[in-house]
Structure 1
Amino acid sequence: MEGYEISPVKAHVGGRNVVFNCEKEGVDAKIIRIAFLNDRSREDFLGEVEYIRYLFEHGGSVSDVVSSRKGKLLEEITHQNHTLFVCLFEKARGKMLVENNYRYREGVPITEYYYNCGKVLGKLHQVSKGYTPVHSRYSFFDKYNAEYIDKLIPDSLSLLKEKLVELLETLEGMDRNRESFGMVHFDYSDGNYMIDFDTGQITVFDFDNSCFCWYMYDLANLWTHGVGWIQFEPDVGKRKKFMEDYFEAVLSGYKSETGIENSMLDKLPLFIIATLMENIIDEFEIMRNKGEEPECDEELSYRIKCLEDDIPYMGFFHEIYSCEEPFEYEERIRLKE
């Protein structure tokens, strides 16, 4: 990395890595990622970088991993008996949507973006269907299971625990054939890809949460991020119509690269609940990792309420939803009396 100007990338809440921008004139920029928490194993990291390399080599639009001088995708550094895992990536071309103030390409309809989101994801899933790992990542149920939920979530939220276990039992009964279940990104959203605003091309990064799961999970996650485009609209009918059109454009792009059965698409509401579960568990993990007493703010209270009361589609079409304070519940859920 001689001659590169190296600067830190600002961390986000709950971040598990230290990340650096590496720039040098006349050379494509790179990203260094240093994982410092002991929450992942060497096998996890090898599984991640091998999967990224496989996607890249088979035409997936992802930031490729750069091999070290020793020809490794993953390097380890031990400092004071603590192991750091280091990876280098090509920096994705373009900007994040937020860096462009959520404006899309000048003179191009936003539906192109929705279509491309689906198309790029469809290609990743199509490539994944032929993937057999050397170093395997974990599977969905390795992390999301009744034992872990019981340990992580306070006993005062007994109804939430019950609903989460019911959800897991439903998912456990679902088919896991090669066409419906395989390696997924698990956090496919506009925070984890760049857009080349000259061409509209999307390049995906941050496979930190990638695991074996249903492909439908990534599509449901894309649905949940689509609500941001219409979340301040007071008319529920208009919100519904927008989401139908948005997801139709996403699926059109997705199906241009890979197939998906209607029986899986019918499970969209179920997988939206699964994304809510992931959000809730992530919040409690962040509190635990910071050593904080668990507490629920308005956003977490909203998610919990949707799950406890069986409110579909993140409550987006329900009376619980407020366009003035999107996805917030007016009363914080109390964990202790």
Structure 2
Amino acid sequence: MEQAVNTLFGMHILNEAADRFSLTKGSYKKLGDFENYVYEVEREGQSYVMRFTHSSHRSELDVLAELDWISYLVQVGVDIPQVYTSRLGKMTEVIHAGDSYFTASLFQKAEGHMPDYANPAEWNEHLFASWGEITGRMHKATQSYTPSIHHKRMTWEDDELLVNAKSYVLPGDEYVLERLNEVMTHLHSLPQGQDVYGLIHTDIHSRNFFVDNGRISVFDFDDCAYNWFIHDIAIPLYYALSWGVPERYAGNREAFAADFVQAFWSGYEKVMPLSRQWLQELSTFLKLRDITLYLVIHKKEDLQLATPRLIQWVNDIKERIRQNIAIVEIDFDLCRFDSSAG
């Protein structure tokens, strides 16, 4: 979190939110603070998740638009944590901090745990297929979604990181802007029909869902935006590769990527029809994620204080951007797709 925002946040904000949402004061367990402040809290002995979003990151209307979509997905039967209201029956409560404010919102706490990518009993094709299926269910539902408030979530190109990219690119790294322009030019050429484009999560990696007895529960919809459905397939693949190729692949990233996509797609296409031709666009969205991560890291992190692991990660990202290559290029001949579908 930026230092200017850190100075505004404190126990007084937490306690004010506790009053408005009837929470047990002092029952605050910090879960994260990268783009939002996230806490596990209690109400009448039950655990919930409270999120505080600073107005420099999202307006209250942006948050309301996110919560409206989550509520719709829950209403139509998508298995995700629901949103709870305050004492006044509001999904959001604005807590002022100087000339800015925090938007507080309360969520059901997902059951289970983050999947262990080092454990083959958890990190396997069964998980990848379930991951694909819940993603497909969200995409299928979003095709019939109409916002119930007079404010829509942003589109992919409204992302502040892309709009202000020049501000986050270091001297000597101007090639990042060149690559971004190339990617955006290509994306602008893609169709945006309701069958391929809509409001999606945009960040369904394995740190944004829990697994409980095989059931996946997706959370953290803060980055939801109007984007192509294939984006929500590229992001799981990108982070699955980033966590590391399982030992059984002996470092063969391409083989693991092919198996991951095949398993993910098998779950996805069970519930959501999308032409398999869209898989050819994975490379573009993988490149975009490298660029986006470069931008967000240089916006949020002081790399002079970074760990060697983070520095190596950033250097790998920069080198791929410089060479104009994706984190992986998939040989789709290695994917064992169902010949009756797609």
TM over 0.5: yes
Instruction: Return the TM-score normalized by structure 2.
Output: 0.80
Equivalent residue for 1:73, pick from 79, 88, 91: 91
Q: Aligned partner of 2:174: which letter? A: S
The residue aligned with 1:19 is: 38
Please, what TM-score do these two structures have when normalized by structure 1? 0.81
**Equivalent pair of 1:31/1:89 in contact (CA under 8 Å):** yes
- 1:88 matched residue in structure 2: 106
**Using the alignment, how far apart are the partners of 1:109 and 1:167 within structure 2?**
31
Report the equivalent of 1:162.
Answer: 178
CA apart distance, 1:37: 5.2
1:241 Cα shift? 2.4
Per the TM alignment, residue 94 of structure 1 is displaced from its structure 2 partner at its CA by 1.1
- Given the alignment of the two structures, is residue 218 of structure 1 paired with residue 239 of structure 2, yes or no? no
Q: Give 1:146 shift.
A: 6.7
One of 72, 75, 90 as aligned partner of 1:54 = 72
Contact preservation (8 Å) 1:21, 1:29: yes
Partner-residue secondary structure (3-state), 1:207: coil
User: 1: CA distance between counterparts of 2:90 and 2:103?
Assistant: 12
For 1:253 and 1:160, how far apart are their aligned partners in 2? 35
**2:158 matched to which residue of 1?**
142
**Which range is displaced more, 110-119 or 225-234?**
225-234
Which residue in 1 is equivalent to 2:11? none
Matched, 1:32 2:50: yes
Amino acid at match of 1:31: V
Letter in structure 2 aligned against 1:21 = E
Q: Which runs of 5+ in 1 are unaligned?
A: 318-337
Supply the distance in 2 between the matched residues of 1:103 and 1:273 (Cα, whole angstroms). 28
2:143 aligned to 115, 118, 129, which one?
A: 129
Deviation of residue 69 (structure 1)?
A: 2.0
CA contact 1:188–1:218 (8 Å) conserved in 2: yes
Q: Which amino acid aligns with 1:302?
A: D
Q: Classify 1:129/1:65 alpha carbon distance in 2 versus 1 (closer, same or farther; 3 Å).
A: same
The corresponding residue for 1:151 is: 167
Give the number of equivalent residue pairs.
Answer: 305
d(CA) in 2 for partners of 1:297 and 1:175?
37
Cross-structure match for 2:30: 9
1:139-191 per-residue CA deviation (whole Å, 9 max, x = no partner) reads 11112787522233134212221111111111111111111111111110111
Q: How has the CA–CA distance of structure 1 residues 81 and 112 changed in structure 2, closer, same or farther, with 3 Å as cutoff?
A: same
Residues in 2 aligned to 1:191 and 1:115: alpha-carbon distance in whole angstroms: 17
Does the C-alpha gap of structure 1 residues 304 and 4 become closer, same or farther in structure 2, counting only changes over 3 Å? same
Amino acid at match of 2:62: D
Q: Which residue in the other structure is 1:278 paired with?
A: 292
Report the secondary structure of 1:86's partner residue: strand
Find the counterpart in structure 2 of residue 173 from structure 1.
Answer: 189
Task: For residue 85 of structure 1, give the secondary structure of its aligned residue in structure 2.
Answer: strand
- Hey, what does 1:246 align to over in structure 2? 260
1 CA distance for matches of 2:162 and 2:234? 22
Aligned identity (percent) is 22
Residue 263 (structure 1) aligns with: 277
Question: Are 1:233 and 1:239, in contact at CA under 8 Å, matched by a contact in 2?
Answer: no
CA distance in 2: counterparts of 1:180 and 1:279, whole angstroms: 24
Give the gaps of 5 or more residues in structure 2. Answer: 1-21, 332-342
CA distance 1:79–1:5, shift in 2 (3 Å) = closer
